[in-house]
């Protein structure tokens, strides 16, 4: 995969489809590498006439890891003290702009999942001229009154990191059994494959803590989201226990004229059975935005 300089870091990325088609930039969530946007999903989007770009956020995968940053104080973070956060969502949004600049692209349609949704929201707020449409998937507004994880989800997310490949795979399987979609078959083989490949590419628990701190330190976007004018789609699972469905509802209520799709049986993942429905709704939003 190619790399480029973006916002003072190096970003690993991959493209699918023709650069002559509308650009769709996929932004993944907390600790999730480029491979979390499965290749089949990306190719389905590209086959519908989209130039699809997926990439590693900072501190995961093969993009730059901020190893020299001071350690995050997790205990303080959980108490609401975010002073140890080395960066914010603002900086991660700027990374995506740097990627667009490096590729010579003025703007793109953004699809963000989980933390990726918060990054895409931040970009739509701060640099709306770079955003043609916004799709926020299983994300929230930053308001602590909505979209909060259950105790069970927090235990899965913050379970001790693995020290080896086999442990990383088993940890991922345990976590997705908790936070995945109860209305759809559990793809254990797929989870194992992605977890193994992620471990092989880069294993950095400290980087995960820096990402977690960035989300916690970035505050409530509700008021700012009311100023977003780009065509917006919010997709959320009814059974999401990582970002409760109230977070998706609040996002759609905050953004003027946003569409809201709540999917029964969907948790905090993207089951293969839902790909056609999700891709159809994203494609329809892109088409509407291009007409507008």
Catalytically active residues are: 114, 240, 268
DSSP the chain: --EEEETTEEEEEEEES-TTSPEEEEE--TT--GGGS-HHHHHHHHHTT-EEEEEPPTTSTTS---TTSPPP-HHHHHTT--TT-S--HHHHHHHHHHHHHHTT-S-EEEEEETHHHHHHHHHHHH-GGGEEEEEEES---S-TTSSPPPHHHHHHHTSPPPSSHHHHHHHHHHHHHHHS-TTS---HHHHHHHHHHHHHH---HHHHHHHHHHHHHT---HHHHTT--S-EEEEEETT-SSS-HHHHHHHHHHSTT-EEEEETT--SS--GGGHHHHHHHHHHHHHHHHH-
């Amino acid at each position: 995969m190619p790399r480029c300089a973006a916002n003072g870091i190096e970003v690993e990325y991959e493209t699918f489809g023709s650069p002559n088609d509308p650009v769709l930039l996929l932004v993944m969530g907390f600790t999730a590498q480029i491979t979390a946007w499965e290749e089949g999903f990306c190719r389905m989007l590209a086959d519908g006439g989209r130039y699809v770009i997926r990439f590693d956020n900072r501190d995961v995968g093969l993009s730059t890891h901020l190893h020299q940053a001071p350690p995050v104080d997790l205990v303080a973070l959980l108490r609401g003290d975010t002073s140890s956060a080395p960066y914010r969502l603002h900086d991660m949004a700027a990374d995506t702009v740097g990627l667009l600049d490096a590729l010579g692209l003025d703007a793109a349609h953004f699809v963000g999942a989980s933390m990726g949704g918060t990054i895409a929201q931040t970009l739509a707020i701060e640099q709306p001229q770079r955003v043609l449409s916004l799709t926020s998937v299983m994300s929230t507004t930053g308001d602590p009154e909505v979209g909060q994880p259950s105790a069970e989800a927090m235990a899965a997310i913050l379970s001790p990191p693995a020290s080896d490949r086999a442990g990383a795979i088993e940890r991922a399987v345990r976590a997705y059994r908790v936070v995945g979609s109860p209305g759809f078959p559990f793809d254990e083989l797929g989870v194992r494959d992605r977890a193994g490949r992620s471990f092989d590419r880069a294993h950095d628990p400290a980087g995960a803590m820096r990402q977690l701190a960035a989300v916690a330190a970035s505050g409530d976007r509700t008021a700012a989201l009311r100023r977003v004018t780009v065509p917006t789609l919010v997709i959320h699972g009814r059974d999401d226990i990582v970002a409760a469905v109230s977070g998706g509802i609040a996002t759609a209520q905050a953004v003027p004229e946003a569409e809201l799709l709540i999917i029964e049986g969907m948790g905090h993942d993207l089951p293969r059975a839902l790909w056609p429905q999700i891709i159809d709704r994203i494609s329809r939003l892109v088409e509407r935005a291009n007409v507008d």
